[in-house]
């Protein structure tokens, strides 16, 4: 027998989540910012990092967004194959709830109807972006993240060839980070997708951003590459908010997928320090 989850249960859980997570920078980010303060030597840089921590505290206490750009609402959804959702279309019920949550919590409306000819604001942050896959089990897992426009605009997809190798990946990453400068509001979290194809690599990079920021890649070679790339990024000297320092990025996280013999897709997704996401399991 399938496990039935009512659409109203989903709506209630999402609405409850939106009453808290948009106002709270992810705790692991704050821990990494605190750690970064121990390595910085310039008073200005330390002051910027302290301001990030202070801003996060005020946002949480006063239920105010830590950044005015509450971003595109992105939903990663895993549906257990034994789950039956009853009472409504999943995407429709989520968009309905997102509309309500945006208005109740005064989240800035950031989505337009059409990219070119009718850039009229939808007024409620809908539609959300959905990535849905079926998995084993009888649970519904919903991960939500908010992706600001500044950091997203500076993200890139590069179609390399297998001959490119690690050195070219590092070169491309540094090019992207230098082009971004202060525009993506460093210190950054950087998601990197390697492999897959033209559409999979960016998805890997985006999903990497909502992983455990304190956990290295389970594959030793990629864990070492994450550290190499993080060190290279921080040696650019761009620093917090682009004003100089040793902390241009807090973490580099890599996700990979099999790819074509002629390809080496590389996606670099930059995320600002105002990094917020949450998880719901029903």
Question: Running DSSP on this structure, what letter comes out for residue 235?
Answer: T
Quickly state the pLDDT bin for 199 (edges 50, 70, 90): very high
Task: Report phi then psi at 242, rounded to 5.
Answer: 75, 15
Q: What percent of the chain has pLDDT over 90?
A: 99
Q: Which residues, listed in sequence order, are joined to residue 146 by a DSSP beta bridge?
A: 73
Quickly list H helices, the chain.
7-18, 27-39, 43-62, 90-104, 149-153, 165-180, 200-208, 220-234
Residue 1 has pLDDT above 90, yes or no: no
Q: Tell me if the pTM is above 0.85.
A: yes
- Residue 265 CB partners (closer than 8 Å, separation 6+): 157, 158, 159, 160, 193, 194, 195, 196, 197, 198, 200, 201, 259
Residue 276 has pLDDT above 90, yes or no: yes
Query: Which two tokens mark 38?
Result: 């121990």
Q: What percent of the chain has pLDDT over 70?
A: 100
16-44 tens-digit pLDDT: 999 999 999 999 999 999 999 999 999 99
89-110 tens-digit pLDDT: 999 999 999 999 999 999 999 9
- Give the residue extent of every domain in the chain: 3-21+66-147, 149-274
The residue-averaged pLDDT of 185-192 equals 98
């Amino acid at each position: 027998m399938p496990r039935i989850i009512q659409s109203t249960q989903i709506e209630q859980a999402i609405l409850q989540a939106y009453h808290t997570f948009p106002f709270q920078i992810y705790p692991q980010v704050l821990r990494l910012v605190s750690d970064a303060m121990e390595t910085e030597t310039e008073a200005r840089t330390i002051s910027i990092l302290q301001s990030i921590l202070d801003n996060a505290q005020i946002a949480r206490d006063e239920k105010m967004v830590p950044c005015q750009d509450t971003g595109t609402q992105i939903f990663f959804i895993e549906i257990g194959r034994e789950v039956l959702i009853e009472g409504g279309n999943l995407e429709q019920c989520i968009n309905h709830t997102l509309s309500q949550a945006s208005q109740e919590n005064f989240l800035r409306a950031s989505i337009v109807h059409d990219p070119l000819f009718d850039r009229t604001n939808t007024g409620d942050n809908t539609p959300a972006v959905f990535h849905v896959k079926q998995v084993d089990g009888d649970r519904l897992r919903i991960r939500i993240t908010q992706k600001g426009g500044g950091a997203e605009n500076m993200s890139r997809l590069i179609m390399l060839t297998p001959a490119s190798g690690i050195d070219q990946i590092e070169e491309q990453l540094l090019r992207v980070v230098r082009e971004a400068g202060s525009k993506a509001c460093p210190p950054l979290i950087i998601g990197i997708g390697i492999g897959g194809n033209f559409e999979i690599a960016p998805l890997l990079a985006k999903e990497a951003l909502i992983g455990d920021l304190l956990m290295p890649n389970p594959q030793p070679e990629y864990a070492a590459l994450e550290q190499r790339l993080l060190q290279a990024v921080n040696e650019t000297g761009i620093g917090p908010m682009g004003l100089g320092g040793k902390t241009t990025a807090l973490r580099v996280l890599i996700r990979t997928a099999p790819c074509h013999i002629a390809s080496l897709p590389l996606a670099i997704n930059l995320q600002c320090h105002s990094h917020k996401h949450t998880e719901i399991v029903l």
